[in-house]
A and B are shown apart, each in its own frame.
Chain A
Amino acid sequence: MKKILEKMGFEGALSLLVLIAYGILAVYDSNRLENALSTLAGLTARIVPILLLVFGVMFLTNLFFESNALVRFLGKESGYRGWMLAIAGGIVSSGPIYMWYPLLSDLKERGMKDSLIAAFLYNRAVKIPLLPMMVYYFGWNFALVLSIYMVLFSVADGILVQSLMRKGTEG
């Protein structure tokens, strides 16, 4: 297993496992395979605009910002301004969480603190456009109280994650 992982890399092994799972489904249940492929097509169609947006943001940060400028806003010395940026960025960013991994990975390499990455990802859960839907199912009070706790606890999440990390930028 270790040898396979070394040879293919983890991403190769992951892709292979997923393909095997689809292969098994193709053999035993073609109807479900069809459903899975149609879900996949729907998901892909939904994420393409987000991928383009992420690509655009990455391109602009690469074009305009020196690493040291980014570190000043999102690194060790960023202070409350860094938290505000991470929280606001997480709330306004749209699309699935994993679409933002490439950008965050890029920013992490350039000095973004782990605590701020965690806070950004946590605030991805606060979805303003989806609030009416939450209100419809659970009421205004619930939606408001939960959203406030989510934002507050995103900071706790960031601090705890940073403290659990031995490596990485100190937070």
Chain B
Amino acid sequence: MALRKNWKAPKDAFSQTGRAFRKSLPILVSVLMLLALADTLIPKQAYRRIFTGNELLDPLMGAVIGSFSGGNPITSYIIGGELRQQGIGMLAITAFLVAWVTVGIIQLPAEALMLGKRFAIARNAVSFCLSIVIAVLTVLTLGMTG
């Protein structure tokens, strides 16, 4: 790998990194506060009420709910596991799990500020659509392989 021929002085590199970090920190703090608020205000039981058993609508709802949720993926596995026990289809649960980790509406403002508005919107929109595609393919593949 082509390293710098003349290294930047560590002090320069440190202050350059520090500047980039200072710019990002207020945004990260806002996102953390939003996530904590969402976690407190959205009860885990609310997820169950949203699914109706409709095979077409539920995957879409799964992707929507996953997109608006955030936090540790383990939480999504636990919720997904509970939904499964309550008879919700794997198509909806898979779309929910994939959207949870690939789409981030709560952190969208931070993503837009740091990586560009167009990029953030395009990435989240594409990831949302792909969460349903992946859910369909996963369930079909598992169905075929038994």
Contacts and interface: CB of A to CB of B under 8 A. Distances in A.
Contact of A64 (B4, B36, B127): B4
Contact of A102 (B24, B127, B138): B24
Contact of B13 (A62, A134, A156): A62
B41 interface: yes
A10 B8 CA distance: 33
Contacts, number: 195
Interface in A55-78: 55, 58-59, 62-66, 68-69, 72-73
Contact of B24 (A105, A125, A130): A105
B142 A65 contact: no
B53 interface: no
A98 B26 contact: no
Contacts of B32: 40, 43-44, 47
A27 interface: no
Main secondary structure of the interface of A (DSSP, over half): helix
Interface residues of B, number: 70
A150 B137 CA distance: 11
Given A36-B36, A58-B17, A137-B81, A99 B28 contact: yes
Given A36-B36, A145-B138, A101 B119 contact: no
Interface in B84-133: 84, 90, 94, 97-98, 101-102, 104, 107, 109-116, 118-119, 122-123, 125-127, 130, 133
B77 to A, nearest CB: 5
A121 B123 contact: yes
A86 interface: no
Interface residues of A, number: 71
A40 B98 contact: no
B14 A59 contact: yes
A25 interface: yes
A142 B118 contact: no
B74 to A, nearest CB: 6
Nearest to B27: A11
Contact of B130 (A51, A96, A153): A153
A105 B114 contact: yes
Interface string A123-141: 0110100100110111001
Contacts of A98: 28, 31, 104, 107, 110-111
A161 B126 contact: yes
B109 A14 contact: yes
Nearest to A127: B73
Interface of B: 1-5, 7-8, 10, 13-14, 16-17, 20-21, 23-24, 26-37, 39-41, 71, 73-74, 77-78, 80-81, 84, 90, 94, 97-98, 101-102, 104, 107, 109-116, 118-119, 122-123, 125-127, 130, 133-134, 137-138, 141-142, 145
